[in-house]
Amino acid sequence: MASVSISSQLNKAVRQQYMSLPQGGKSQVTYIWIDGTGEGLRNKTRTLDQEPSTILDIPEWNFDGSSTYQAEGSNSDMYLVPVRMFRDPFTHDPNKLVLCEVLKYNRLPAETNHRRRCSEVMEKVKEHCMWFGMEQEYTLLGIDGHPYSWPLNGFPGPQGPYYCGVGADNAYGRDVVECHYKACLYAGINIYGTNAEVMPSQWEFQVGPCEGIEMGDQLWVARFLLHRVCEDFGVVATLDPKPMKGNWNGAGCHTNVSTKQMREEDGLQFIEKAIEKLGQNHAAHIRSYDPRGGKDNMRRLTGLHETSNISDFSAGVANRGASIRIPRQVGQERKGYFEDRRPAANCDPYAVTAIIAATCLLEPEQEVEKQDTEEEKSN
């Protein structure tokens, strides 16, 4: 038996009795933000007098950055700036989840706030109507850190029957997957689908297509929902790109991309042009595709287990061992989208979509400057 958390075993029928109490027209709003690790999510809740109808009805707030690896020196208050609102699938209407950008005391973006630069890039390329779809792979663990439902001593049978599998011997933890899917639909996430992955206890959901900055917003909130659903079941979802060493698949966050031109008749030529530019920028992309500048992905992008080698760039139709894959149907129809298979499961979707948009659509002199610490130092 995999170990599940004690609090997941609290009496859920008792909880239900309180959850159905009327709340006097007030609205609970849960602010969600990315912490100083660039991977972790934090949240806290406050009461608003009425249900907010748009993001503009939700006020800024703040939090103690010294407790989230985010504070600078003695200025530990950080600003939470609401950017996108969703329905709350845990406490239901009229309650909301609101994704926030984090600003420092001087109102400059926090170090791990990659959204700011991403939205600047997306603004510059907006006439291209760039769509993204991201495939989030993850692995379920017990709270002891061992893959959920794996034998305590030893391993499950080798990979083969698990991908898109069915049956208690093949699919581990489907309850989490189905509840997360429903939670996404209720919240207003543009969830595209889900499937069991190659390694047992590993799953995937896809979000998209989403235009521009919305990709990052939606994926971060979909991740929040996943962690929150897992909490109810007493298990943990890890986005580590290679949770188990050896002959087990890693976890990626394949990023599918198209522009208006690519989606139109004979768009394939624009896909090919984009791929050529991506090839000239391989190293910079790898640095942006996990939170540790490529170190995490080194464990995953080995050239085995349906991955490309981290140091090589390659592209091909229907090739799952390439950096970039053109889906077979796209090759046949000569229009559509391409898939960048390099981003790690724990990537920041803002960093990933920003560099893809900049590389494919901006000339070098147009590129938005990296958030500039130089300027700050001189102040």
The site for ligand ADP (CB under 6 A) is made up of 131-135, 192-193, 206, 208-209, 254, 256-258, 263, 336-337, 339
> From the list ligand ADP, Mn ion, none, which binds 308 (C-beta under 5 to 8 Å, kind-based)?
none
- Distance separating alpha carbons of residues 214 and 237, to the nearest angstrom: 23
Cβ atoms 114, 368 nearer than 8 A = no
DSSP letters, 224-258, are HHHHHHHHHHT-EEE--S-SS-SSS---BEEEEEE
Beta strand 41-48 with 202-211: parallel, antiparallel or unpaired? unpaired
The 8-class DSSP code of residue 55 comes to G
Query: Using CB atoms, what's the residue nearest to ligand ADP?
Result: 133
Q: How far is the CB of 244 from ligand ADP (least distance, A)?
A: 21
> 90 or 192, CB closer to ligand ADP?
192
Q: How far is the CB of 230 from ligand ADP (least distance, A)?
A: 21
> 251 or 257, CB closer to ligand ADP?
257
> From the list Mn ion, ligand ADP, none, which binds 133 (C-beta under 5 to 8 Å, kind-based)?
ligand ADP
Query: Using CB atoms, what's the residue nearest to Mn ion?
Result: 254
Q: Where are the alpha helices (DSSP H) in 305-348?
A: 328-333
- Using only C-alpha atoms, the chain has a radius of gyration, in whole angstroms, of 21
Q: How far is the CB of 270 from ligand ADP (least distance, A)?
A: 12
Q: How far is the CB of 304 from Mn ion (least distance, A)?
A: 15
> From the list Mn ion, ligand ADP, none, which binds 157 (C-beta under 5 to 8 Å, kind-based)?
none
> From the list Mn ion, ligand ADP, none, which binds 263 (C-beta under 5 to 8 Å, kind-based)?
ligand ADP
> 68 or 258, CB closer to ligand ADP?
258
- Distance separating alpha carbons of residues 229 and 281, to the nearest angstrom: 38
> From the list ligand ADP, Mn ion, none, which binds 125 (C-beta under 5 to 8 Å, kind-based)?
none
Cβ atoms 294, 286 nearer than 8 A = yes
> From the list Mn ion, ligand ADP, none, which binds 131 (C-beta under 5 to 8 Å, kind-based)?
ligand ADP
The overall longest dimension of the chain from CA atoms, in Å, is 62
Tell me the three state secondary structure of residue 299: coil
Please compute, for residue 214, the number of CA atoms within 13 A of its CA located in the half-sphere on the CB side: 18
Out of 35, 88, 101, 204, point to the residue binding Mn ion (CB under 5 A): 204
Asked if residue 342 binds Mn ion (CB under 5 A), the reply is no
> 208 or 212, CB closer to ligand ADP?
208
DSSP letters, 200-229, are TTEEEEEEEEEETTHHHHHHHHHHHHHHHH
Q: In the chain, what is the straight-line distance between the N-terminal and C-terminal CA atoms, in Å?
A: 57
- Candidate ranges 1-9, 24-32, 247-255, 309-317; the one touching Mn ion (CB under 5 A): 247-255
User: Angle, to 10 degrees, between the axis of helix 214-233 and the axis of helix 115-124?
Assistant: 140
Q: How far is the CB of 103 from ligand ADP (least distance, A)?
A: 30
Out of 35, 101, 135, 348, point to the residue binding Mn ion (CB under 5 A): 135
Cβ atoms 137, 203 nearer than 8 A = yes
Hey, which residues does 338 pair with through a beta bridge? 257
> From the list Mn ion, ligand ADP, none, which binds 85 (C-beta under 5 to 8 Å, kind-based)?
none
> From the list Mn ion, ligand ADP, none, which binds 216 (C-beta under 5 to 8 Å, kind-based)?
none
Residue numbers of the site for Mn ion (CB under 5 A)? 135, 204, 254
